[in-house]
């Protein structure tokens, strides 16, 4: 029996004292505030009163740690899926403001609609929607939780809505530990439909997203 609802959950605040773009760099785990945020996200989903039968996460440390409260709440072992990982980015490990001001990096900014600095938006959207579809079909009824990152979640939102994928990263509606929920009526460009968005956690320091 396929799933009944799917929740894309962003990870919590990351310990990032250098304020760098952490991208896929290993070793970036949650801060103490981030752990509190993930518990709030899990409590929000649990408070919906719906069974969760499948838990998926990106293989990066911050998403694996953000999946832990969901594992505890629902008794599920998280399944890692590379398709919901952060997009690769040429500015990884750098402070964005400094990198943008460096003339040596301007060649990476020539086409923001693709974007020219990293993985194409279309590629990210396609892999995330494919992961959503597979997780939905593999569920034993109930709901699916996928713990991912800002860009993959926002691009899934745009793809589901049938909107243009080109966008400014500063305009994303995807806060730390936010929950974006979908059902799957089988209509629209992806078969999914967004039904809710929630920010159950306190505001954290949102640095390092790409």
- Mean pLDDT of the 1-11 span: 95
- Mean pLDDT of the 66-90 span: 97
pLDDT(208) > 70: no
User: Are 26 and 61 within 8 A, CB to CB?
Assistant: yes
Within-domain flag for 25: no
Q: What is the pLDDT of residue 15?
A: 95
Within-domain flag for 151: yes
Count of structural domains within the chain: 1
Within-domain flag for 98: no
- Given pLDDT bands bounded at 50, 70 and 90, which one contains residue 44? very high
- Mean pLDDT of the 17-21 span: 91
pLDDT tens digits, 110-164: 999 999 999 999 999 999 999 999 999 999 999 999 999 999 999 999 999 999 9
Q: Residue 183 sits in which domain range?
A: 5-15+30-86+120-198
Work out the number of other CB atoms within 10 angstroms of the CB of residue 116: 13
Within-domain flag for 62: yes
Q: What is the pLDDT of residue 71?
A: 98
Per cent of the chain over pLDDT 90 is 82
Within-domain flag for 125: yes
Work out the number of other CB atoms within 10 angstroms of the CB of residue 18: 12
pLDDT(103) > 80: yes
d(CA 86, CA 13): 15
Q: What is the pLDDT of residue 210?
A: 62
Is the pTM of the predicted complex or chain greater than 0.85? yes
Within-domain flag for 148: yes
Tokens of 154: 């926002």
- Mean pLDDT of the 170-184 span: 96
d(CA 49, CA 53): 13
Terminal C-alpha separation, the chain: 36
Within-domain flag for 158: yes
CATH number at residue 177: 3.40.50.1240
Within-domain flag for 170: yes
């Amino acid at each position: 029996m396929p799933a009944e609802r799917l929740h894309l959950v962003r990870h919590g605040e990351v310990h990032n004292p250098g304020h760098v773009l952490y991208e896929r760099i290993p070793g970036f785990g949650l801060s103490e505030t981030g752990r509190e945020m993930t518990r709030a996200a899990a409590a929000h989903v649990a408070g919906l009163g719906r069974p969760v039968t499948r838990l998926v996460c990106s293989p990066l440390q911050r998403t694996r740690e953000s999946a832990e409260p969901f594992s505890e709440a629902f008794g599920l072992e998280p399944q890692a899926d590379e398709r919901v990982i952060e997009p690769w980015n040429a500015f990884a490990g750098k402070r964005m403001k400094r990198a943008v001001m460096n003339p040596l990096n301007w060649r990476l900014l020539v086409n923001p609609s693709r974007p020219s600095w990293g993985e194409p938006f279309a590629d990210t959207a396609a892999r995330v929607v494919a992961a959503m579809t597979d997780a939905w079909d593999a569920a034993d009824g109930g709901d699916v939780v996928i713990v991912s990152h800002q860009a993959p979640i926002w691009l899934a939102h745009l793809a589901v809505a049938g909107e243009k994928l080109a966008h400014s990263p500063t305009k994303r509606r995807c806060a730390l530990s936010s929950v974006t929920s979908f059902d799957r009526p089988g209509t629209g460009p992806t078969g999914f439909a967004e039904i809710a968005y929630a920010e159950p956690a306190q505001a954290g320091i949102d640095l390092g997203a790409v």
